[in-house]
């Protein structure tokens, strides 16, 4: 039990979407006297429950959760805001004598906490940002992302091709400083005794779970959820509505896609997203202890965790 009894222990649970992180994290938190800190950028937003597969209220009553429903979809939580909030949540959990579990599939957010990232210090340039955003809307987010790839391949690999906001920020820093965005992201090292548990499944099994999850979202009222967000005044270009599922259903509600087309696109993009997650959480990364989520019980994982050295 050296890891659990060490100063500032932190257990991270990572893996692709739909692999089963939520279920196993809940069981492990109950077994290890833990609380869950979400590192899933989609769970920050209120009113986005179905399309994000957000833990239910019953699940959140079983185990305390942090950084869920902390802002409105029209707002945006930056990486810097998340890091500060996650650091505070982890400190509060330690103060209660409990184990923090950092759980999520958003690689940038997980590694930022674990490795102590310091984002570029360059102040925003509103005029340049407006020009870049206008350019991105004219040529499309994916084409702007291709321009970033030519200037900074490392940064482009870590930014989703449709994420206009993050692409613009990277280009803004590059044009302002004359240096690659990726070269300006420093790592100060982790203040925690971190152990990383990775969950995986065979790809066909994972894809089947993704398809089933998307069908369940539709049955639970995803279309109505997106309509309610739009009716509540959530801006059409809000970063939250660019998440997979929300943007396709929005396109359906606006008459640009049939529901069948929207669902096909959701499934295709989620598979694509899983492959990108693999770039953040690599199967051969020695920092990550990988387990098959479908063939490993919470009891087995608990035994493994309790055997870890500091």
Cβ atoms of 122 and 180 closer than 8 Å:
no
Cβ atoms of 6 and 190 closer than 8 Å:
no
Task: Kindly give the confidence (pLDDT) of every residue in the chain, 310 residues in length, as a single tens digit, with 9 standing for 90 and above.
Answer: 589 999 999 999 999 999 999 999 999 999 999 999 999 989 999 999 999 999 999 999 999 999 999 999 988 788 889 999 999 999 999 999 999 999 998 888 999 999 888 766 666 778 888 888 889 888 988 899 999 999 988 888 878 787 788 888 888 888 888 888 877 666 677 889 999 999 999 999 999 999 999 999 999 999 999 999 999 999 877 878 889 999 999 999 999 999 999 999 999 999 999 988 888 898 889 999 999 999 999 999 999 999 998 7
Tokens of 246: 């929300």
| pLDDT score, position 121 | 64
Give the CA angle between residues 19, 296, 58 to the nearest 5°: 60
Length of the chain: 310
Can you list the domains of the chain with their CATH numbers? 2-118+187-307 (3.40.50.300), 126-184 (1.10.20.140)
**Sequence-distant (≥ 6) Cβ neighbours of residue 214 within 8 angstroms:** 245, 263, 266, 267, 270
| pLDDT score, position 185 | 67
DSSP category for residue 192: S
Q: Which helix (H) or strand (E) holds 42?
A: none
| pLDDT score, position 31 | 97
What is the value of pTM for the model shown?
Answer: 0.85
Number of DSSP helices (H) and strands (E) in the chain, helices first: 14, 8
Q: What secondary structure does DSSP assign to 60-95, as a single string?
A: HHHS-EESSS-B-TTS---HHHHHHHHHHHHHHHHH
How many angstroms separate the Cα of 253 from the Cα of each of 5, 38, 226, 256, 262?
52, 30, 9, 8, 10
| pLDDT score, position 59 | 96
């Amino acid at each position: 039990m050296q890891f659990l009894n060490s100063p500032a222990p932190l257990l991270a649970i990572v893996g692709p979407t739909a692999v089963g992180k939520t279920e196993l994290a809940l069981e492990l938190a109950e077994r290890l006297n833990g609380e869950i800190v979400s590192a899933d950028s989609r769970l920050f937003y209120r009113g986005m429950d179905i399309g994000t597969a957000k833990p239910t209220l019953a699940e959140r009553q079983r185990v305390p959760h942090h950084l869920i429903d902390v802002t409105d979809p029209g707002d945006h939580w930056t990486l810097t805001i998340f890091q500060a909030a996650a650091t505070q949540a982890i400190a509060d959990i330690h103060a209660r004598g409990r184990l923090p579990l950092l759980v999520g599939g958003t690689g940038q957010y997980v590694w930022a906490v674990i490795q102590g990232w310091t984002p570029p210090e360059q102040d925003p340039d509103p005029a340049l940002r407006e020009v870049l955003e206008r350019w991105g809307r004219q040529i499309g987010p994916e084409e702007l992302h291709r321009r970033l790839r030519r200037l900074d391949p490392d940064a482009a690999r870590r930014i989703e091709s449709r994420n206009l906001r993050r692409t613009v920020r990277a280009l803004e820093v590059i044009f302002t400083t004359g240096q690659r965005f990726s070269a300006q992201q420093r790592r100060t090292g982790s203040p925690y005794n971190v152990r990383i548990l990775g969950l995986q499944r065979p790809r066909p099994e994972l894809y089947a779970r993704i398809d089933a999850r998307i069908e369940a979202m539709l049955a639970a009222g995803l279309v109505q959820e997106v309509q309610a967000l739009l009716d509540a005044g959530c801006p059409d270009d809000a970063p939250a509505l660019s998440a997979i599922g929300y943007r396709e259903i929005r396109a359906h509600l606006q008459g640009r896609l049939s529901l069948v087309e929207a669902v096909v696109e959701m499934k295709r993009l989620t598979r694509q997203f899983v492959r990108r997650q693999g770039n953040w959480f690599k199967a051969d990364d020695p920092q990550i202890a990988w387990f098959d989520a479908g063939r490993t019980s919470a009891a087995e994982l608990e035994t493994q965790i309790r055997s870890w050295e500091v």
